């Protein structure tokens, strides 16, 4: 081990979220950071201060997930613009308890292994390693272990 560097610090230094404010990991596992409107109480993601549905200000942050159900899905086999990670990967919409439907990566690109309504679980997965050697991670949904 390098003197003066603890393993925990090293771990934090070698990975970073693709953007701040999208997700956290707490005792219950990974969570998405959604916004909740003080006026209409409807949720949105990513969290913003203004409600996209009714324009009320002062939305609060609320943690959602990790469980959800698969609604729509496809697979992306060609690298989309600005993406340096592996292909193929799954892409779709997962519906969370409370009705929030979220655009997401899916860990499973084999469509024959996916079905509408199947239970899914939020995970944090690596996208790619940047020029500084840092792993860039984002959220995704994986089929729930049977």
Partner 1 sequence: MRPVYLAGVGLHPFGRFADRSVTALGAHAVRAALTEAGVGRDGFQAAFCGTVYSGVAAGHKVLTALGLSGVPMVNVEAGCASGGAALALGVAQVASGRCERVLVFGMEKMPRGMIRSSFFEPWREEAGLAATPAYFALRAQRLMRESDVTLDDLAAVSVKNHRHGVDNPDAMYRKAVTGAEVLASPMVCAPLRLLMLCSPNEGAAAVVLSARPEGPAPVRVAAAALRSHRAGSVLGEHTPMSGLADDGVPTPTEMAAHDAYEEAGVGPADLHVVELQDTDAAREILSAEELGLCARGGGGRWVRDGGGAMGSRRPVNPSGGLLSKGEPLGASALGQIVELTWQLRGGAGARQVAGARLALAHTVGRGANACVVILTRG
State yes or no: residue 13 binds partner 1 (CB under 8 A): no
Listed ranges 5-13, 23-31, 88-96: which one lies at the site for partner 1 (CB under 8 A): 88-96
Asked if residue 68 binds partner 1 (CB under 8 A), the reply is no
Task: Dihedral sign for Cα 1, 29, 89, 112, please.
Answer: positive
For partner 1, which residue of 9, 19, 24, 135 counts as binding (CB under 8 A)?
Answer: 19
Which string of x and - marks every residue 116-135 that binds partner 1 (by CB under 8 A)? x----------xx-------
**Judged by CB under 8 A, does residue 57 bind partner 1?**
no
Q: Is 30 in the site for partner 1 (CB under 8 A)?
A: no
Question: Considering beta carbons, is residue 125 or 144 the nearer one to partner 1?
Answer: 125
Q: Any alpha helices (H) in 1-146, and if so which ranges?
A: 7-13
Burial code (b: 16+ CB inside 10 Å, e: under 16) for 107-143 equals ebbeeeebeeeeebbbbebebeeeeeeeebbbbbbbb
Asked if 93 is part of the footprint of partner 1 (rule: CB under 8 A), the reply reads yes
H helices, E strands: number in the chain? 1, 10
Long-range contacts of 88-94 (CB under 8 A, 24+ apart): 90/114, 90/140, 92/141, 94/68, 94/69, 94/70, 94/120, 94/141
Which one of residues 56, 91, 118, 124 is an interface residue with partner 1 (CB under 8 A)?
A: 91
Residues ≥6 apart with Cβ < 8 Å to 117: 69, 70, 71
Nearer to partner 1, 9 or 40 (CB): 40
Contact positions vs partner 1 (CB under 8 A): 18-19, 22, 34, 42-46, 52-53, 72-85, 89, 91-93, 99-103, 105, 111, 116, 127-128, 136, 138
């Amino acid at each position: 081990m390098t003197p003066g560097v603890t393993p925990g610090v090293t771990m934090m230094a070698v990975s970073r979220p693709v953007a701040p404010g999208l997700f956290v990991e707490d005792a219950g596992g990974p969570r998405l950071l959604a916004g909740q409107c003080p006026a209409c109480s409807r949720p949105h993601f990513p969290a913003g201060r203004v409600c996209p549905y009714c324009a009320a200000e002062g939305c609060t942050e609320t943690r959602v997930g990790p469980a959800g159900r698969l609604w729509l899905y496809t697979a992306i086999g060609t690298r989309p613009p600005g993406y340096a990670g592996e292909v193929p990967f799954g892409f779709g919409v997962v519906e969370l308890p409370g009705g929030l439907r979220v655009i997401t990566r899916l860990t499973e690109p084999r469509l024959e292994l996916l079905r509408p309504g199947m239970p899914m679980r939020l995970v944090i997965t690596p996208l790619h390693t940047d020029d500084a050697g840092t792993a860039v991670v984002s959220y995704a949904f994986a089929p729930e272990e049977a």
